[in-house]
Amino acid sequence: MGNERADVLVIGSGAAGAALSKRLTDLGAKVVCLEQGDWINPADYPSTRPDWEISIRRGPFHVSPNIRRRPEDYPVVELGKDPPYVQMFNAVGGSTIHYTAHFPRFHPSDFRVRTLDGVADDWPISYSELEPYYDMNDREMGVAGLAGDPANPPRPERPTPPLPIGPLGEELGRGFDKLGWHWWVAENGIISRPYDGRPGCDLHGKCTYGCPIGAKASADVTYWPKALKKGAVLKTWARVREISVDEKGMARGAIYHDRQGALQEQLAKVVAICCNGVGTPRLLLNSKSKLFPAGLANSSGLVGRNFMMHAWQQVAGVSSEAIDTTVGPRGVAVASQQFYETDFKRGFVRGYSFQASPTFGPLSYAWAGYAAPALPWGADHHRTFRQRFPRLLSIWVQGEDLPMESNRVELDPEVKDSSGIPAPRVTYAHSENTRRLMEHGAARAREVLQAAGCTEILDGGLHQPAWHLMGTARMGNDSRKSVVNAWHQAHDVKNLFIVDGSSFTTAAAVNPTSTIGALALRCADGMWERRRDWT
């Protein structure tokens, strides 16, 4: 398509940008996507090498852009009382390259938090409106799971059968059973058998650092091959500097740096930003003009505000017997939503999920982890190592993070990326509600591990791995209190759409990727139904 005017320009090729592009090309739109990274060769993934665990600490596939510093990355300044440890990846497929691929859905209650619990705000859409798009996204990704979870609304038979829960799931399942608490086989975006031209999971257990065979549903192996076959154009090494606007205040396109650093402009009738909860507000705030002096789509002053990321705490138990929890898929084996909904008697609102996730390999046992301190060096090293490896049963407590305007993304006045674009500065602090919620969750996790027969409990306390980036261009009906409407259309610029984690009104207590994909598919249908507005 070259630089001719596209119907829709999509910025970012991750979970949202890929789903949006594929759905729009299916409907007949001419789509161009700009991605600041490139295609990743699966042969380059650390998961194919014996030293893969080194990537946990350093290297070009580290989850933090501040550590890996690839040419396509940008720095992130992390501040606040509880500075967030921001994690993302820039490539075709975005952060789905290294996500664990746990694939739960929001609950119906998550869309009605204000009505039910008197906090935050209701979404302008309901679960039932999003449900068919959840189903569509599940089919595209090939989700593995087991229908019938009593904690969630009914859903169709899962596209592929559940992954094996392994000894980790079996042991913790017995612990939940002893307490009489809910648990269920987890849904994962990792296919358990051949599906849609992709091979089933071979259980090699290193999914976080890229699946070399394509069993994990990263967007580069699910949506993008189909979108490109239908005619979508994907331009890599295209770092967008700003959204350009015309004299009427409509989005004109995007100005970007190509691989050689030269400035180019891609024109389009409609622009959709899909750059995650940090990259999207960064781009909007940098898109200043006479018509939009505070940044694009920012008449509410909320662009970058209400940053949410989920609260995390890992609690692990040392089993009395050797149980190798390092094998099998890296997603989540079993999950529990026993304490998901609000119970005001607990002293906090909203709730949390439990996720039973496999551990990494022997090096990770020796290093300090989220739950376990580093093993002592010297005479006691091997004895302590044998006590823990391979014996750790791990539970992640994932707590809902309520929106607060003080948690925010801004442009840093000093730090810039290699193209001279201001870096995002992310400021964060946990709320008192979060602290009470997580104290409750950690205590219940210890009960599960004790019921499962663990002889020692390791608890690293509350920490801040910000790998779910949400809320910074929130959805709502009131233009004074939100950035986009129920169809992800910017209140201030009618041909600008924002669809990714930044458009979330609330965070729920589950991983967001399933919801991001479903929202993108719904947004595509909304764009297409209103296409006469753009011609």
Residue 391 near residue 307 (C-beta atoms within 8 A)? no
In this prediction, residues 162-175 reach a mean pLDDT of 93
Under the banding of pLDDT at 50, 70 and 90, the label for residue 1 is: very low
Residue 512 included in any domain: yes
- Give CA angle at 323 (316, 361), nearest 5°: 70
Report the pLDDT averaged over residues 446-462. 92
pLDDT the model gives residue 315: 93
Q: Model's pTM, two decimal places?
A: 0.96
Domain annotation covers residue 110:
yes
In a domain, 278, yes or no: yes
10: amino acid identity, one letter: V
Identify the domain containing residue 490 by its residue range: 6-41+56-152+167-191+202-533
Contact by Cβ (8 Å): 156, 137: no
Q: Would you give the DSSP letter of residue 5? A: P
Q: What proportion of the chain, given as a percentage, has pLDDT over 90?
A: 80
The three-class DSSP label of residue 409 is strand
* Residue 46 covered by a domain: no
pLDDT digits (tens, 9 = 90+) for 382-423: 888 888 888 888 899 999 999 999 999 999 999 999 999 999
**Chain position carrying tokens 């442009």:** 411
Mean local confidence (pLDDT), 363-386: 78
Give the CA dihedral 105, 107, 112, 118, nearest 10 degrees.
-120
- Distances in Å between the Cα of 166 and the Cα atoms of 205, 336, 390, 396 are 12, 16, 14, 17
196 within domain boundaries: no
Beta bridge partners of 255: 242, 265
Phi–psi pair at 287, nearest 5 degrees: -90, 60
CATH number at residue 15: 3.50.50.60
**pLDDT score recorded for residue 206:** 80
Closest C-alpha among 506, 525, 273, 514 to residue 403: 506
Task: Give percent of the chain with pLDDT exceeding 70.
Answer: 98
pLDDT in tens, 511-530: 999 999 999 999 999 999 99
Is 161 among the domain residues?
no
Q: Fill in the amino acid letter for 266.
A: Q
Q: Count of domains in the chain?
A: 1
Reduce the DSSP state of residue 156 to 3 states and report it. Answer: coil
Asked if 332 contacts 102 with a C-beta cutoff of 8 angstroms, the reply is yes
pLDDT at 130: 98
Residue 483 exposure: Cα atoms within 13 Å on the Cβ side: 29
* Inside any domain, residue 1: no
Burial category of 57 from C-beta neighbours within 10 Å (exposed 0-12, middle 13-18, buried 19 and up): exposed
338 lies in a domain?
A: yes
DSSP string, 116-154: HHSSS---SS-HHHHHHHHHHHHHHHT-B--S--TTS--
Enter the DSSP assignment of 392. Answer: E
